[in-house]
Amino acid sequence: MSNNLTLSGGIVAYVIKEGNGFFYYSENSTWLLDDWEREINDKSYFKFLTQFELDVPLYATNVLKNNLPQVLIDFDNKRLINNYYDQALEDRVPRLWNGTWVEDINSFLDLIPKEQRYWESTNEES
């Protein structure tokens, strides 16, 4: 089954919270964590994020493969790992967080658990 859903104007983030990983799709300002420090601390940021959760099965494989994750945010360990070349998101983290830039896309994608790598799907629907 093919669909016409597209992704444009944003980036995919892999977010870890309470040991669980989820994909979200939003504009890059959503991932400027230092702008959201108060909301992260009072937990309202997580409610805000729910509107951006990426429901992977709704998208055609070719759309997903053209929208790889570019940011990993681990709220459990207070770290952000960035592969988004257009903005230094790793420099925009709250106090006491660790921000890192990973230039190589393959090294970055290796940080995401194999069972959640939608871009490695063998289903070639488009």
Burial 37-72 (b: 16+ CB within 10 A, else e): eeebeeeebeeebeebebeeeebbbebbeebbbbbb
pLDDT of residue 68: 94
For each of the chain's 126 residues, which pLDDT tens digit applies?
445 577 888 999 999 999 999 999 999 999 999 999 999 999 999 999 999 999 988 888 888 888 999 999 999 999 999 999 988 999 999 999 999 999 999 999 999 999 999 998 645 444
Phi-psi region of 96 (alpha: psi -120 to 50; beta: other; left: phi over 0): left
pLDDT of residue 3: 56
Spatial contact of 61 and 92, defined as CB atoms under 8 Å apart: no
Residue 101 tokens read as 């830039």
pLDDT of residue 58: 87
Residue 94 tokens read as 């709250």
